[in-house]
Every structure is written in structure tokens, then in C-alpha cells.
Amino acid sequence: MPISARLPGITTAAYREYVASLEEESRRLRAERRAMETAMGVVHFDLRGRITHANQRFAEILGYADPDSLQGVPHQRFCDAQYAASADYEAFWAALRRGDPQQGRVRRLDAQGRTVWLEASYNPVMDDDGQTASVIKIASDITERVNKGIRDRAIIGALDRVMAVAEFTVDGTLRKANENFRRLMGYDAGSIEGVHHREFCPPEFAGSDDYAAFWKRLRAGEYYADRVQRRARDGSARWLQASYNPVFDDEQRVVGVIKFATDITDEVHRQEAERESAAYALDVSRQSAERSRAGVETVNRSLEETRRMSERIEQAGREAEGLDEHAERISAIVAAVRGVADQTNLLALNAAIEAARAGDAGRGFSVVADEVRKLAERTASETTEITSMVADVQRRTRDFVAQMEGLLEHVRQGVALTRETGETMEEVNRYAESVVEAAGRVSEIRT
């Protein structure tokens, strides 16, 4: 029977065209199914929740080598026990049996009991009577993405707990800030949103070209991290170790800036105090070094003067010893003169005796002899006094020499001590110069 007889109103050409379109649609559907089967896990359940078919990708996602081994496995096996026994689980399958599709992110367990996250849709399959006959599940593995999100949230949570975090728009308006940032800058939750970033900066910086360039670089996607000075709501200075991080959208356009910061105000103040202390120590060290050098010079001058004094004392000692020698020679001469006087006195006495014997003839000679005797007696008396004086001079000279020798020994000891003092002062000066150098390095580091 011709097609036109069986299907009135449809020509053979139209029928062929219709069949061709169906075949094309069938090929397209088969291609889409193959693509879906390759990329996604597909599993069929009966209304009791038991698997009637699973593709290779589904088996791989859940850690099974052979998809045929999943035949008859109940859906509960892929769920944790608490959820599988819950009212929510019963409601989930009741909705599917009614023909209501279910979709969303679901947590399931693989063959080893490990968590697998799926983006899944459960689709009821209707029979000719409009009743649910089975359920097809189509799922993609998003475990890595979910775990990354969990890790990212954990990191953000950790940062949020220990750091001041603020989010700004690209024009610098604060979008939101965490409690740490609000407390640091002196704002409460209802008063900080919408505040421009310049309000947190010293006025001289907020109105500068550097500030405009700072935000221009951020809008260009440049990351910034440094120690910065900011201003709290009450105007007090806050020092922060901060990083400004541009946020990009899918097209790599900057859509915001997130700031992470820690409060280092106390540390900066401590460093400033240490820097001032280092500068003071450097100044004191320099003064000490100068005084030390002056002390060394004074000691050296004292040492030189002491040496000269020692030389003068030695010279005086030598001269005193020469005086003693002269005194001894004088004593010898005086002794000789006294001997002559004694001899003269004796001769005068003899002459007087002879004159007495001579009588009147020897009277004139007697007068001369008497005068000679008197002169000899005075000479003897004077020589005796000179001898006494010379002896006293010798005694005093010897005492002086002894004292000078003792003084010279003390001077020598003083010279030795002064030399040791000079060496010690030289060493102190070297140490002082080392301290100055070290203090200078510390001051440079602190600066």
C-alpha cells in the first residue's frame, strides 16, 4: 500500500523528508549522549533506588573498576548512614517517585568510604501513562573544586581571625571590613561601610599625587605590600604591615581590592625608641672616645714630663755626688792647712823659747814669733771650723744624694706606672673606637 494511502495528506517526498529529519535528530541525540556519557556519570535507578545501569564514568567517579558490578546496588550505599536513615532522604525519593526532579550539590561516598562531591540532577522517567517508571541521575565530579573552596574558606577564616581585613571598591570606597579592622581603626559595624580609604590616611598623604598614583596602580592590577602609616577615627596614628590585593573577575578586570593588615604600631614605637637610644648611645660613645683620646694624650704628656723630671733628678744626683767629691777635696786641703798651722804654731813656740834665751837681743824676734803663733792658732781654729762645716756639708750632701736616689726610684716607678696607664688608656681608646663603630652600625640599622 502506498504511503499516501496509509498516511492521507502526506506525500512520499514529505515522508522521506520527515524520516530524514528523525534520523538526523537521532544521530544528534546519540552524539550528545556519547558526549554526556564520556564527560559525566550517568546512572539509572528503579523506583526502589536500586541501580539498573551505570556508565563507566560514574563507576570511575565513585572508585569502581567495573560499572557492571554496580548492578542492583542500592542508592543508600553511596550516602552516609545518618542521611540514608533520615526523613530528608525519604522525602528526597518520595519527590522523585512523584515525578519531581531533584538537583544540586550532593555529598556521596566512594568505594573506599571517602567523600565525593557531585553536581547532580535526578530526573524521573515517565511511562506512557505519565507515571514515574525510573530515575536517571546525571552527575559531574566537583570534589576538587569543593575541597578547594573549603580550603580557601578555611584560609580566609584564619586570616579573618588574626588579621584586619577590608574590601574596597576600585574607587577606594570601603565595601566591608571585619571586626579586627573596625576595632583597629576605631569604628563600629554600622559606621564604617561607605567610608573612603583616604579617611584612614594622614591628610598630607591623602591629598598627594603619591596617593592618586597608589590607587591608579591598584586599579591597573598591581599588588602592593609595605609598612604604612594610617589614621584611626580619633586621629591617632596607626602603623600597619599591609598588603593591597586587586581582585579580578573572569575577564581579568579589576573589580575590587582586598586589604590584609596587622597592627605594628607598638613595634614601630619600640623601634623608634631603640633608634633614639642607639643615637644617644652613639653620641655618648663618641664623647667617651674623645675623652679617652684626650686622656691618652694627657697621660702621654705626663709620661714625657715624668721622664724629663727623672732626667733632671738624675742630673741633680750626679751634681750632688760631684759636690761631695769637692767637699772631700776641700777637707783634704783644710787638713793640710791645719797641719801647716800646727807646724807653724810649733815653730813659733820654739822661736819664742829661743828668743827668751837670747834675752834682749831676741825680744823683737819673740814678738814676731808670738804673732806667728797667734796666727797659727787662728788658722787652726778656722780650719777646725771649716772642717766641721765641710763635714756637715758632706753629711747633708750624702743625705741629699740618698734622698734623691729614693726619689729617683719613686720617679722610675711613677714612669713605669704612667707607661702602664698610657697603654691601658690606649687599649680603652681602641675599645671606645670599636664601641663607636658598633654603635654607628646599630644606628644605621635602626634608621
Q: Is the pLDDT of residue 320 over 70?
A: no
pLDDT above 70 covers a percentage of the chain that reads: 73
The model's confidence at residue 269, banded by pLDDT at 50, 70 and 90, is: very high
Distance separating alpha carbons of residues 34 and 26, to the nearest angstrom: 12
Q: Look at residue 412 in the predicted model and tell me its pLDDT.
A: 72
pTM attached to this predicted model: 0.52
H or E segment and range at residue 121: strand 115-126
Q: Look at residue 1 in the predicted model and tell me its pLDDT.
A: 47
Domain boundaries, the chain: 3-140, 163-263, 270-446
Q: Are 331 and 394 in contact (CB under 8 A)?
A: yes
Q: Are 142 and 234 in contact (CB under 8 A)?
A: no
Give the pLDDT confidence of 109-153 residue by residue, as tens digits: 999 999 999 999 999 999 999 999 999 999 999 999 999 999 999
Q: What is the mean pLDDT of residues 91-101?
A: 97
Q: Look at residue 253 in the predicted model and tell me its pLDDT.
A: 96
Q: What is the mean pLDDT of residues 188-213?
A: 95
Q: Do domains 3-140 and 163-263 have the same CATH topology?
A: yes
Least confident of 21-25, 49-53, 151-155: 21-25
C-alpha cell belonging to residue 137: 541521575
Q: Rounded to whole angstroms, what are the CA distances from 286 to 299, 314, 354?
A: 20, 42, 100
3-state secondary structure of 422: helix
The whole-chain average pLDDT of the chain stands at: 83
Half-sphere exposure (Cβ direction) of 18: Cα atoms closer than 13 Å:
8
Between residues 393 and 211, which one has the greater pLDDT? 211
Q: What are the φ and ψ backbone dihedral angles of 185, each rounded to 5 degrees?
A: -95, 0
Q: Are 41 and 55 in contact (CB under 8 A)?
A: yes
Q: Look at residue 431 in the predicted model and tell me its pLDDT.
A: 65
Q: Are 222 and 247 in contact (CB under 8 A)?
A: no
Give the pLDDT confidence of 142-186 residue by residue, as tens digits: 999 999 999 999 988 998 999 999 999 999 999 999 999 999 999
Q: Look at residue 401 in the predicted model and tell me its pLDDT.
A: 66
> For residue 128, what is the DSSP state?
T
Amino acid in position 163:
M
Q: Look at residue 355 in the predicted model and tell me its pLDDT.
A: 65
Least confident of 8-12, 82-86, 147-151: 8-12
Instruction: List the CATH code of the domain at 3-140.
Output: 3.30.450.20
- Burial (CB < 10 A; 0-12, 13-18, 19+), residue 314, is middle
Give the number of other CB atoms < 10 A from CB of residue 289. 21
Percent helix, strand and coil across the chain, each to the nearest 5: 65, 20, 15
The model's confidence at residue 393, banded by pLDDT at 50, 70 and 90, is: low
Q: What is the mean pLDDT of residues 54-65?
A: 95
Q: Rounded to whole angstroms, what are the CA distances from 61 to 1, 66, 116, 327, 348?
A: 53, 12, 8, 131, 161
Q: Which residues, 6 or more positions from 420, have their beta carbon under 8 angstroms from its beta carbon?
A: none
Q: Look at residue 293 in the predicted model and tell me its pLDDT.
A: 74
pLDDT above 90 covers a percentage of the chain that reads: 49
Between residues 394 and 272, which one has the greater pLDDT? 272
Q: Rounded to whole angstroms, what are the CA distances from 77 to 71, 85, 110, 199, 270?
A: 12, 11, 9, 58, 62
Distance separating alpha carbons of residues 117 and 109, to the nearest angstrom: 8
Q: Which residues, 6 or more positions from 356, have their beta carbon under 8 angstroms from its beta carbon?
A: 362, 366
Q: Which residues, 6 or more positions from 124, have their beta carbon under 8 angstroms from its beta carbon?
A: 96, 97, 98, 99, 100, 101, 132, 134, 135
**Residues in a beta bridge with 141:** 118
The CATH number for 270-446, chosen from 3.40.50.11810, 3.30.1380.20, 1.10.287.950, 3.40.50.720, is: 1.10.287.950
Distance separating alpha carbons of residues 259 and 243, to the nearest angstrom: 6
Q: Is the pLDDT of residue 408 over 70?
A: no
Apex CA 446: angle with CA 441 and CA 447, to 5°? 95
Q: Is the pLDDT of residue 440 over 70?
A: no
Instruction: List the CATH code of the domain at 163-263.
Output: 3.30.450.20
Least confident of 31-35, 114-118, 367-371: 31-35
Between residues 301 and 369, which one has the greater pLDDT? 301
Amino acid in position 412:
R
* DSSP secondary structure string for all residues of 52-98: EEE-HHHHHHTT-S-GGGGTT-BGGGGS-HHHHTSHHHHHHHHHHHT
Q: Rounded to whole angstroms, what are the CA distances from 97 to 90, 126, 387, 389?
A: 11, 10, 157, 153
The model's confidence at residue 326, banded by pLDDT at 50, 70 and 90, is: low
The model's confidence at residue 305, banded by pLDDT at 50, 70 and 90, is: confident
Q: What is the mean pLDDT of residues 386-413?
A: 71
* Residues 92-100: contacts with CB under 8 Å, at least 24 apart: 93/49, 96/122, 96/124, 96/132, 96/135, 97/47, 97/124, 97/132, 98/124, 98/132, 99/124, 99/126, 99/131, 99/132, 100/124
Between residues 54 and 15, which one has the greater pLDDT? 54
Q: Look at residue 198 in the predicted model and tell me its pLDDT.
A: 97
